[in-house]
Structure 1
Amino acid sequence: MSLRKHWWKWLIGIMILLASILYSYLQPYQASNEANEKRISTEQVLIEDTPNWISFSPTNSIIATIIFYPGGLVEPESYSPLTHSLAEENIRSYIVKMPVNLAVLGGNRASKLVNEIGSEPVFIGGHSLGGVMASRFAAENEDIVDGVFFLASYPDKKGSLDTSSLPSLSITASNDEVLNQEAYMNAKSFWGDNHTEIMIEGGNHAQFGSYGEQGGDGMATISTDDQMTEVHTILLQWIDEIAGE
């Protein structure tokens, strides 16, 4: 059997191998059972799961809207506990679904939500890679958003807010070993003047969502529920201060 004659068989084999490796690498962190339970509508929160996003809408009045970009290779459902709890406080939330769970491939997807939003203040942000891409969208669409938040994340040069009047909020965790600390410190030149930084003691990277442990992360000394509660409280206070101005 000639290798030259059957080169196409070798090519197909190599392509199958590469596809298998890529498929394995792109397997997302899956949402926990607790997170999936928060995707059920209640008397206070109406949930809609579409091909482009998951929305959590308060059945009462809406005081603000959040657009949330998930972390890299994290299922969007993993952030349901946070967005559900915010909806109970009359803050509508949209978790944006990304191509193969990578926000870097869908940075402009928030633009699809413009027609869904009313006159209320709009805040965009996200976790890890999601926060980086959310800041890029905000930097190019200051007329759409009223503030930017980062969970274990930071803006890069393309998402710089240093010349922007947009308020920004950074929430980090003391035991986070996934966040690149050097890159985070270097990104401080990209914050605007109206910026707030808060660290959650005992938290880690993965517990900004609800998807279990993440490779390379530090060990949290507080529970996922406790970390989520702190994030909820910080975000809610920040939004209330801005929306009430």
Structure 2
Amino acid sequence: MLSWIAVVLAAVAVAVVTWVCLTAWGAVVHGNPAYALVLGATTLLAIVGFALALRGARAAKPLRVAGRVALLVAAATGIAVVAWLRPYPAVEPALTAMRTDASVTVTESPDRIVFLPSGEVSSTAVFFQPGALVDARAYAAVLRPLAERGHPVVIAKQPLGIAFLALGAFDEARDAVPDAADWVVGGHSLGGTVASIQADESDGTAASPVTGLLLYASYPAGDISASLTARVLSISGTEDGLATPEKVDESAATLPTDTEFLVLEGVSHAQFGAYGPQAGDGTPEVSDDVARHEISEASRLFVDSLTPD
């Protein structure tokens, strides 16, 4: 009986990997390689498990029942985690915004996307942490206008789509844009929470300090109201079902007293990027184009205000 359960789990594991590849292939290929490695390891383990289960059934020499049950439970849990980690793939207009043209050069590496202005380059650069499980390319359309304005932009590609696994990404971004005199650090949802940590740690540094924190539908995990000296802009939406208006209001006390709060009417959580609907989110009351323009323009004005003349 346990051997057949193992066979079924192996089949489910292969099915999950196939589903992820069919529905999120672009996000897997263009994302941090950690998840692709997990998918490969899952497939390999499924094949090995299938072979061992069949051999065990023929030989009638099963492992101790308790041990085999524990392995099956662990396997089922692992499969569930792999399925949960499936990224939200970027959709248009983000994919078009990833193209290099006369105004912006776009480059990708395994751990970041970089937008470099082709003309005059500002001394203020932007580093951005995506929301949990969201394809980093999904923020290309909303952040590209900052690069068109002259600000270098670096978007982190987080291992497994989790910002807490990319705590060192900001230091790597500094290396990618060595001429930046100061930085605005931002993020969406969980990415904003981690960006708050990074901003709080780096706003007092002598070289390439953080002068601004840009929160998209997000708030800090702890109280940084007294320690953070950088200016803060919090942009949220009235129809956000995840970082709800109530949560944003409750978290206001954890930010500096001069934080600017911009609440956009009709905007939902997923409209801060371009990756389709998200479970648990509210229903937007404005178009994606309207939401993106409002978010992008507010971001541009904020970053411009921090840039020396």
TM-score, reference length from structure 1: 0.92
CA contact (8 A) 1:165 1:193 kept: no
CA contact (8 A) 1:56 1:93 kept: yes
2:220 aligned residue: 155
Q: CA deviation at 1:216?
A: 1.3
Note closer, same or farther for the CA distance 1:8–1:169 as it changes in structure 2 (3 Å cut): same
Q: Distance in 2 between matches of 1:26 and 1:101?
A: 7
CA contact (8 A) 2:185 2:199 kept: yes
Q: 1:223-234, aligned counterparts within 5 Å?
A: 223-234=287-298
Aligned with residue 273 of structure 2, among 209, 221, 230 = 209
Q: Distance in 2 between matches of 1:236 and 1:4?
A: 62
Aligned with residue 110 of structure 2, among 20, 44, 51 = 51
Q: Which shows bigger deviation, 200-209 or 99-108? A: 99-108
Indicate yes or no: 2:132 matched with 1:72: yes
Q: Which shows bigger deviation, 207-216 or 80-89? A: 80-89
RMSD between aligned residues: 1.9
Q: CA deviation at 1:77?
A: 0.8
Q: 1:161-176, aligned counterparts within 5 Å?
A: 161-176=225-240
2:90 aligned residue: 31
2:38 aligned residue: none
1:123 aligned residue: 184
2:251 aligned residue: 187
| 5+ residue gaps, structure 2 | 1-59
Once the two structures are superposed, residues 218-238 of structure 1 have per-residue CA deviations (whole angstroms, 9 ceiling, x without a partner) of 111111111111111111111
2:304 aligned residue: 240
Q: Which residue identity is paired with 2:129?
A: Y
Aligned length: 244
Once the two structures are superposed, residues 119-169 of structure 1 have per-residue CA deviations (whole angstroms, 9 ceiling, x without a partner) of 4331001100000100101111112211101000012216x1433321000
Secondary structure at the counterpart of residue 257 of structure 2: coil
TM-score, reference length from structure 2: 0.74
Q: CA deviation at 1:82?
A: 1.4
2:51 aligned residue: none
CA contact (8 A) 2:133 2:161 kept: yes
Quick check: which one's helix share is greater? 2
Q: Which shows bigger deviation, 162-171 or 70-79? A: 162-171
Q: 1:38-117, aligned counterparts within 5 Å?
A: 38-63=97-122, 64-117=124-177
Secondary structure at the counterpart of residue 146 of structure 1: strand
Note closer, same or farther for the CA distance 1:7–1:139 as it changes in structure 2 (3 Å cut): same
Q: Distance in 2 between matches of 1:11 and 1:119?
A: 52
Higher gyration radius (CA): 2
Once the two structures are superposed, residues 161-213 of structure 1 have per-residue CA deviations (whole angstroms, 9 ceiling, x without a partner) of 43332100000111111114444233212211331111111111000000011
Q: CA deviation at 1:3?
A: 6.5
Secondary structure at the counterpart of residue 90 of structure 1: coil
| 5+ residue gaps, structure 1 | none
Q: Which residue identity is paired with 2:105?
A: L
Show structure 1 runs of 4+ deviating over 6 A: none
2:210 aligned residue: 145
Q: Distance in 1 between matches of 2:251 and 2:301?
A: 24
